[in-house]
């Protein structure tokens, strides 16, 4: 059996029964693909159900307020995906009459739809012969064919694309693409691939040459930035202060508590003596009720250390000292999309009280 026949055979016996595998509706396939970017299937599943239920059609998604979409997205991270999802939905309604483009090249014109997603949608929904190339595919091809060109180099990307194109099964591009992705996710996994029962074991170069651990090759590792975020949960009667993050940074358009960000690790004593802290409080008397331990929060290229300071004040903060903060009732917090680290802290506090 050749490579693609072997893969399809394996897929038909081993594919997981996933909800998006029962549809060829491009809207639903697109939703599943965006949700599953950088997200595990078991985690993405509930979001897929939530989105297809809350927004059954692209019109529903286009019409929904962004804050509602961000709230439904809460916990998935990479919020730009949710914003792009919304922008694209609106675009499909305004420019395409609510009907998804049916070709790879037209799909590529949509915001947030790259080569991988365009290939997935066009092959699965319209059986266009376009190969998907993502992390799973890189890994399978690198190992089976012993290809050691770095996958993050220009020549590597070209090489793998050519290889993927030459292997694509033109009679069933939909099944083949899903098969290679599933094979990478379930069989030829990054760590501990299941080689003893692999249908490709006999021809797999990495297995023969003991290169499984080093393939695929990556040229450069991305630098991780560290940040320290000190959040002030300020309670005045049953009110809280929050602000919306508007800068082009992580968590754009989500809500947060007043923040003092430092460029190095700062313990509570030092922070409370800092100019930033003193400027913030000026003449306002406050009571410090609790300082949390430092919580580590990892994003793809950032390591964030978060500490919460819980304070109470008797008098509301004067407007001129409030910056862009707004005052809300504590129970209204749920209606605002918060970054997951903040949401978790608040929820945990409520449960422990």
CB of 138 to ligand SF4, least distance (A): 12
Only one of the segments 112-120, 197-205, 238-246, 329-337 lies at the binding site for ligand SF4 (rule: CB under 6 A); that segment is 197-205
Instruction: Determine contact, residues 251/245, Cβ cutoff 8 Å.
Output: yes
Contacts of 163 (CB under 8 A, 6+ apart): 141, 145, 147
In the beta sheet, which residues pair with residue 255? 244
Nearer to ligand SF4, 201 or 295 (CB): 201
Please tell me whether residue 198 binds ligand SF4 under the rule CB under 6 A: yes
Residues 6+ apart with CB under 8 A from 51: 31, 35, 61, 72
The yes-or-no answer on residue 331 being catalytic is no
Q: How far is CA 210 from each of CA 156, 186, 195, 213, 284, rounded to the nearest angstrom? A: 21, 20, 12, 8, 66
Distance CA 121, CA 201 (A): 30
- Least Å distance, CB 10 to ligand SF4, is 10
Q: Does 7 bind ligand SF4 (CB under 6 A)?
A: no
CB of 167 to ligand SF4, least distance (A): 13
**Binding of ligand SF4 by 206 (CB under 6 A):** yes
3-state secondary structure of 348: helix
Instruction: Determine the distance from the C-alpha atom of residue 87 to the mean position of all C-alpha atoms in its chain, rounded to a whole number.
Output: 17
Residue numbers 61-100 binding ligand SF4 by CB under 6 A: none
DSSP state of 146: T
Contacting residues for 156 by C-beta, under 8 A, at least 6 apart:
149, 150, 217, 219
- Shorter beta-carbon distance to ligand SF4: residue 6 or 169: 6
Q: What is the nearest approach in angstroms of ligand SF4 to the Cβ of residue 200?
A: 4
Q: Is 184 in the site for ligand SF4 (CB under 6 A)?
A: no
In the complex, minimum distance from the CB of residue 221 to ligand SF4, in angstroms, rounded to a whole number: 22
Give whichever of 213 and 351 is closer to ligand SF4, judged by the CB atom. 213
On whether the CB atoms of residues 297 and 306 are closer than 8 A, the answer is: yes
The footprint of ligand SF4 on this chain (CB under 6 A) covers a number of residues equal to: 14
CA 172, CA 140: separation in Å to the nearest integer? 19
Q: Does 217 bind ligand SF4 (CB under 6 A)?
A: no
Closest approach of ligand SF4 to the CB of residue 149, in Å: 17
Contact 305, 265 (CB under 8 A): yes
Residue 305 CB-density burial (10 A; 0-12 exposed, 13-18 middle, 19+ buried): middle
Is residue 254 near ligand SF4 by the rule CB under 6 A? no
Binding residues among 126-145 for ligand SF4 as defined by CB under 6 A: 143-144
CB of 201 or CB of 346, closer to ligand SF4: 201
Among 31, 120, 212, 306, binds ligand SF4 (CB under 6 A): 212
Q: Which residues are marked as active site?
A: 33
Q: Site residues (CB under 6 A) for ligand SF4? A: 143-144, 187-188, 193-195, 198, 200-201, 204, 206-207, 212
């Amino acid at each position: 059996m050749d490579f693609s026949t072997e893969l399809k055979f394996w897929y038909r016996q081993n594919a997981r029964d996933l909800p998006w595998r029962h549809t060829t509706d491009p809207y639903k396939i697109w939703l599943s693909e965006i949700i599953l970017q950088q997200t595990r299937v078991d985690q993405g599943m509930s979001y897929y159900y939530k989105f297809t239920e809350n927004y059954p059609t692209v019109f529903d998604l286009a019409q929904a307020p962004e804050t509602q979409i961000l709230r439904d997205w809460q916990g998935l991270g990479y919020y730009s995906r949710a914003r792009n999802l919304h922008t694209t939905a609106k675009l499909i309604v305004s420019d395409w009459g609510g009907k998804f483009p049916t070709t790879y090249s037209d799909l590529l014109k949509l915001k947030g739809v790259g080569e991988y997603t365009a290939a997935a949608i066009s092959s699965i929904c319209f059986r266009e012969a376009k190969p998907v190339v993502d992390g799973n595919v890189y890994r399978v091809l690198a190992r089976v064919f012993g290809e050691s060109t770095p996958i993050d180099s220009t020549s590597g990307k070209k090489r793998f694309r050519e290889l993927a194109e030459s292997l694509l099964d033109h009679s069933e591009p939909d099944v083949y693409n899903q098969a290679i992705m599933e094979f990478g996710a379930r069989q030829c996994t990054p760590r501990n691939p299941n080689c003893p029962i692999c249908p490709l074991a006999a021809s797999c170069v990495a297995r023969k040459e003991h290169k499984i651990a080093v393939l695929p090759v990556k040229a450069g590792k991305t630098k991780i930035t560290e940040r320290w975020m000190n959040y002030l949960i300020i309670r005045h009667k049953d009110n809280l202060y929050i602000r919306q993050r508007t800068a082009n940074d992580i968590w754009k358009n989500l809500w947060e508590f007043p923040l003092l960000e430092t460029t190095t690790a700062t313990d509570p004593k030092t922070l409370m003596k800092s100019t930033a802290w003193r400027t913030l409080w000026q003449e306002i008397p406050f009571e410090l009720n609790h300082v949390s331990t430092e919580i580590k929060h990892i994003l793809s290229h950032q390591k964030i250390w978060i500490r919460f300071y819980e304070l109470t004040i008797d008098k509301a903060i004067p407007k001129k000292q409030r910056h862009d903060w707004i005052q809300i009732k504590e129970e209204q917090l749920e209606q605002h999309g918060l970054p997951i680290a903040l949401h978790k802290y608040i929820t945990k506090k409520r449960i422990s009280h």
